[in-house]
Amino acid sequence: MKTSIPVEERMSAGHLACQGCGATMSMRYALKGLGEKTVFVIPACCWTVLAGPAPKSALDLPVLHSPFASAAATATGVKAGLTARGDRETTVVAWAGDGGTFDIGLQALSGAADRNEDIIYVCYDNEAYMNTGVQRSGGTPEGAWTMSTPGKAGSARPKKDLDAIVLAHHPAYFATATPAYAEDMTRKFAKARTIKGFRFLRILSPCPPGWKTDPKDSAKVSRLAVQTGLFRLYEVENGRMRLNMPVANRKPVGEYLRLQGRFKGLSAEAEAAIQASVDKIWNEGKS
Amino acid sequence: MKKVLMGNHAAALAAKLARVQVAVGYPITPQTQAYEMLAEMKAKGEFPGEFIAAESEHSVMAAILGAATAGARTFTATSSQGLAYMHELLHWVAGSRLPAVMVDVNRALAAPWNLWTDQSDSLSQRDTGWMQFYCSTNQEVLDTVLMSYKIAERVMLPAMVVLDGFTLSHSYEPVDVPEQSEVDAFLPPYKPEVVLDYKNPVGFGALVGPKEYLRLRRRMAADMAEAESVIEEVGREFGAAFGRRYGQLDAYRCADARTILVTSGAVGSTARAAVDALREQGLKAGNLRMRSFRPFPAKALREFVRPGMRLAVVDRNYSPGAGGIWAQEIKAALYPRSRASVHGYVAGLGGGDITVELLQEVWKRVDSANASVPVAETWVEDAR
Amino acid sequence: MPLLDDDARSLPRVILSTRRMSENKTGNWRTMRPVIDRHICTGCQICWKYCPEACVKLTDKVPAIDMDFCKGCGICVEECPKRCVSFVPEASV
């Protein structure tokens, strides 16, 4: 049977994710791209819980659970340990949330990227500490409600530009992805697997309880993030950036924002400012 | 072959002789030369394992968690703030039942900044599930690293080999360095049961409930208890192979002694000199050097102690609100079966000298004390 | 009171995850049930592709949703280009 992404499933049903979880969609596509010879390191994040308690696992590959701040460093050690034992074919993946990447794990991430460790680091970015019940992280966008940024105005600071931080380390491969574009995501993981050195993927990962979206809208909101130009699908290889999904007629950002209860308090001015910042980025891209 | 080595180099050389597969490091005074020597051996092709120059101690121990779970024999060395920064991962590595071996060069914890020897760094990690061995010479550093792999891989608990900052780490001493073939005969390759391997996709460290958690910790306790005899056994095996035998305790001229200086680390060498000096004055002095701190050698200690004995415990560490840590632990181990008295002396914090003279004074104070009087801890400093 | 001391060395050192979460049926989370209209379905596989539970099976032209696992998120309902997946309350089934 012909399918747009590989049929083989390495993420099993029965996991503990919320309905419509973007992090499980992303994991499913990632594993389809990565294949069998893969080891995962998972620091504290939603996936710690939703992979299931011992002695069960929703992932049909080896997993090492690690402390919050240490995904990249633990993966570094796994790669070294495998190499020392003569295994040079296994792909080592660190799979962390935005809290574990933008915030508490940033030092370890920077260290591993700087050393050009031969690992793939994945940040599934659901834009807040969702596992602990929606608190602001460095990945939370301006204006978004969280439990630690209550009130109408939401988070006061713009989202940290993690892509720029990672790219400043000259990674061997860099890509963004989001589950609405499953084929694109699967292809990027399959490609990352073939490259040596430090590889990084950031996935915009919808979270129905944290974004206050209807679970049925997880693919839709992910798609709108791209179609409005708020989230750009791109790759960087050898320092050259390639836009994967140039959006000719961008939809207004309001279509993305209004699907999400977390932006309910956003004023018209704030929305206009977001639109202006998106327009500015895309216009810069043209020149 | 006899070489003149500083303690840091003895540690790094031992790691190489143990055929460590993954060494990870990060600089911190006074451990840095161990890290530098590993980097140098790697660059020269003398160290065939993987070498990772991490960006922090937290990441050092995280990398060790990863490498050891992948099935590699691992090594690192650290000190003071670095050890404190590893704290979270120390629990993780022990809880994962990985036989990692680490050298800690004792140095006081800040604030305020202090660079010199003090056991507050290693002893504050006492509840992490790592075994802890204290050395008194650079020969013992090399030997203990080698023995630690064998002990750790037998009981599946990590081990910390502790030496005094500067006093050992930077002091040159003659060290008998064994041949690689001799070490290979003593220490077989590490053969873990289950490792990270895509052909056997299992998960490590996933959530467990209270019932399982309690059982895992009970097993850890059982293995720690088992380690007491394994340490003695491996110490005997080492003695048979290399002519230097080790145990949990090292008693010096204690057979007829009523008052004993109880020490740990490099102070042990000073204490022997103090005992010799006291003996020359016709006094029946002895020294008991504590080699193991975890597992605490309670059984061996109870066997050693005789009724009426006075233990003058010298602590180069302090637990605020509780006292010198060795003294506390010794009291706990002896209660209530022993009629020996324990006299705590806190000395040499932050690298202060603990001299032969000071130890003689401590011994005399304890020997002439009214042993029926409850003993509070006493803080002393060097007269100079 | 059970004592853990008698045979402590037979207790496990670690608990590895060796079994699959597919032993854990999540179908009872569901309040709404997706139902595919076989006559309209074109077999485009989009419901299969987006399912966060990986519980849509491609055995036939018309996909089969495994109700042992479906949590009823409704992504297949929303994403079907032919609008052929209806969402019905579980109580009415």
Task: Give mean pLDDT in consecutive 10-residue pieces for chain A, a chain of 287 residues.
Answer: 94 98 98 98 98 97 98 98 97 98 98 98 98 97 95 93 98 98 98 98 98 98 97 95 88 98 96 95 75
CB contact under 8 A, A13 and C66: yes
Which residue type occupies B96? Answer: S
Last residue of a domain, one of B224, B242, B260: B242
Residue B59 pLDDT more than 60?
A: yes
Are B198 and A36 inside 8 Å of each other by CB?
yes
B369: confidence class by pLDDT, cuts 50, 70, 90: confident
Per-residue pLDDT tens digits for C34-86 = 999 999 999 999 999 999 999 999 988 899 999 999 999 999 999 999 999 99
| Same domain, residue pair B189 and B273 | no
The shortest CB-CB distance from C4 to any of B206, B218, B226 is to: B218
Q: Do B218 and C15 touch (CB under 8 A)?
A: no
Query: Which residues, numbered 14 to 73 in chain A, qualify as contacts with chain B under a Cβ-Cβ cut-off of 8 Å?
Result: 36-39, 41, 48-49, 51-57, 59-67, 69-70, 72-73
CA distances from B240 to A8, B185, B233, B248, B276 (A): 57, 12, 11, 17, 28
Of B219, B232, B98, residue with least CA distance to B153: B98
> What distance in Å separates residue B101's CA from the closest CA in chain A?
15
The CATH number covering residue B349 comes to 3.40.50.920
In this structure, whether the domain defined by A22-286 belongs to CATH 3.40.50.970 is answered with yes
CATH number corresponding to C28-92: 3.30.70.20
- In terms of domains, do B336 and B235 share one? no
Look at the block and give the residue holding tokens 């290399």.
B242
- Reduced to 3 states (helix: H, G, I; strand: E, B; else coil), residue A238 is coil
Using CA atoms, how far apart are residues A22 and B206, in angstroms rounded to an integer? 21
% of chain B at pLDDT higher than 90 = 96
Banded pLDDT at B177 (limits 50, 70, 90): very high
**What is the domain count for chain B?**
2
Q: Is B218 on the interface with C (CB under 8 A)?
A: yes
Q: Does A109 touch chain B (CB under 8 A)?
A: no
Q: What's the rounded Cα separation, in Å, for the pair A123 and A100?
A: 8
Beta strands in chain B (DSSP E): 2-6, 22-25, 50-53, 74-79, 101-106, 131-134, 159-164, 172-176, 203-204, 249-252, 259-263, 285-290, 292-294, 310-315, 341-346, 378-379
Whether the bond between A215 and the residue before it is cis, its omega within 30 degrees of 0, is: no
Domain boundary among B220, B242, B264: B242
Q: Which of B156, B202, B215 is opposite residue C16, by nearest beta carbon?
A: B202
Q: Does one domain contain both B72 and B190?
A: yes
Chain A residue numbers with beta carbons less than 8 Å from the beta carbon of C74 are 19-20, 214-216
Average pLDDT of chain B to the nearest whole number: 96
Q: Do B97 and B44 have their domain in common?
A: yes
pLDDT greater than 60 at residue B374: no
Who among A39, A67, A81 is closest to B22 (CB)? Answer: A81
| Chains adjacent to B (≥3 CB pairs closer than 8 angstroms) | A, C
Average pLDDT over residues B273-299: 98
Query: What does the alpha-carbon distance between residue A20 and residue C78 come to, in Å, rounded to a whole number?
Result: 11
Tell which B residues from 71 to 110 touch A, by Cβ distance under 8 Å. Answer: 71-72, 74, 88-89, 92
Summary mean pLDDT of chain C: 95
For B306-365, how does the pLDDT look when each residue is reduced to its tens digit (9 = 90+)?
Answer: 999 999 999 999 999 999 999 999 999 999 888 899 999 999 999 999 999 999 999 999
Question: Where is the domain boundary, B189, B217, B242?
Answer: B242
B110–C contact, CB cutoff 8 A = no
Residues β-bridged to residue A129: A135
Residue B279's domain comprises 251-379
3-class DSSP assignment, residue B80: helix
pTM above threshold 0.90: yes
Helix, strand or coil for residue A194?
Answer: helix
Domain ranges of chain A: 22-286
Contacts of C27 in chain A (CB under 8 A): none
Q: Checking DSSP bridges between strand B203-204 and strand B378-379, what pairing results, if any? A: unpaired
What integer pLDDT is reported at residue B375 of this predicted model? 64
DSSP B381: -
Looking at residue A64, what is its pLDDT?
98
Which ipTM was obtained for this model? 0.97
Helix segments in chain A, DSSP class H: 22-34, 46-50, 71-84, 106-114, 162-167, 182-194, 208-211, 218-227, 253-257, 268-286
Residue B255's Cβ-count burial label (10 Å; 0-12, 13-18, 19+) is exposed
Classify residue B321 by burial, with Cβ atoms within 10 Å: 0-12, 13-18, 19+. Answer: exposed
Of B22, B62, B196, the CB nearest to A70: B62
Residue type (1 letter), B232: E
B234 and B315, same domain (yes or no): no
Please give the angle made by the CA atoms of B84, B85 and B91, to the nearest 5 degrees: 75
Task: Report whether pLDDT(B372) > 70.
Answer: no
Mean pLDDT of all residues in B255-269: 97
Cβ(C45)–Cβ(C61) below 8 Å: no
Chain C residues whose CB is inside 8 A of the B223 CB are 9, 13
Pairwise CA distance, residues B185 & B159, whole Å: 21
What is the Cα–Cα distance from C88 to C86, expressed in whole angstroms? 6
* C44 alpha-carbon distance from chain centroid: 20
Can you give the pLDDT at residue C93?
A: 76
Q: Same structural domain for residues B193 and B100?
A: yes
Contacts of C17 in chain B (CB under 8 A): 202-204, 206
Please report residues of B whose CB lies closer than 8 A to that of C13: 97, 156, 216, 219-220, 223
Q: Domain boundaries in chain C?
A: 28-92
Q: Tell me, yes or no, whether B130 lies in a domain.
A: yes
Q: Do B237 and B323 belong together in one domain?
A: no
Q: Is residue B384 part of a domain?
A: no
Interface of C with B in 11-40 (CB under 8 A): 11-18
% helix, strand, coil for chain A, step of 5: 40, 15, 45
DSSP for residue C10: G
Residue B41 and residue B187 in one domain? yes
Residue C1 has pLDDT above 90, yes or no: no
Q: For residues B245 and B155, what is the distance between their CA atoms, to the nearest angstrom?
A: 20
Based on the fold, state whether residues B272 and B231 are members of the same structural domain.
no
pLDDT of residue A287: 46
Contact at CB, A80 and B67, closer than 8 angstroms: yes
Name which of C29, C54, C75 is nearest A219 (Cβ-Cβ): C75
Which of A44-48, B201-205, B375-379 is least confident?
B375-379
